Amino acid sequence: MTQGLPLESHNGTTILRAVSQAAHTLLTPDEYLAIERLAETKSEYHSGEVFAMAGGSAPHAEVAANFIGELRARSKGGPCRIYSSDMRIAVAGERNFVYPDVSGLCVEPRFRDATRDVLLNPSFVVEVLSPGTEAYDRGRKLAIYMAVPSIVEIVLVSQDQVRVDKYTRQPDGVWRFDGLEGREAHVRFESLGCAIVLADFFDGVELAPLPPHHERS
């Protein structure tokens, strides 16, 4: 995530793309959404501050697209809905607005308003990890997702090896962790009632090179 972008012009109108911490300028959720809906790039919202999202790599985009395709194929004709990274999620009384790479649910969706671009009740979210955002995705963003009562499954996906880390909320509220690795491993989506082999999610993807000094486990 990158912060502190300057004002820019959009169709002749000057809009604020990101809030500088130095200026201590905070936006309300309504102000953030008014700006974000006009913007050409995405930014996330955290307690009044706005952070521009970094662009993704080809493997990141391909893995995310494979997830959407595989999940959509298995839910076709049923009540489940699968959303791409264009769908925002509101969290914690609108203290946060974030963009998962993939999200979905099998109940009636609830949206913040008539624009229907802020989902309030996802059942699962998927994040494809990137070197620049992995710490954020595994830390603060993971905690944000765990605070959403409707979310029962969180999937973190590598783009440099065939690996998925899955968190599943148990009936007592405790989160179970499953680390799945290898093309023959299966990840089960309880909220969709299906299990998918990892090979399908990584089909046709040229994995990103590992960061320097990183060794596979």
User: Alpha carbon of 98 to those of 89, 94, 147, 157, 210: distances in Å?
Assistant: 5, 10, 13, 17, 27
Sheet holding 49-52, edge to edge: 49-52, 43-46, 96-98, 88-91, 118-119
Flag whether the pTM goes above 0.75: yes
Q: Express each pLDDT in 15-37 by its tens digit.
A: 344 443 444 689 999 999 999 99
- Cα separation of 119 and 54, whole Å? 22
| CATH hierarchy code of domain 58-201 | 3.90.1570.10
- Residues 27-70 have pLDDT tens digits of 999 999 999 999 989 999 999 999 998 777 888 899 999 999 99
| pLDDT number for residue 59 | 86
Return all residues near 77 (Cβ < 8 A) that are at least 6 apart: none
Distance between CA 144 and CA 84 in Å, rounded? 19
The answer to whether residue 120 scores a pLDDT higher than 70 is yes
**Across 5-13, average pLDDT:** 36
pLDDT in tens, 151-204: 999 999 998 899 999 999 999 999 999 999 999 999 999 989 899 999 999 999
Q: How many helices (H) and strands (E) does the chain have?
A: 5, 15
In the predicted structure, residue 127 carries a pLDDT above the cut 80: yes
Where are the CATH 3.90.1570.10 domain residues in the chain? Answer: 58-201
Task: Give 102's pLDDT tier (boundaries 50, 70, 90).
Answer: very high
Mean pLDDT value across residues 102-118: 96
pLDDT at 103 over 60: yes
Average pLDDT (121-135) is 91
Looking up tokens 């299906």 gives 194
pLDDT at residue number 2: 34
> Using 50, 70 and 90 to split pLDDT, how confident is the model at 148?
very high
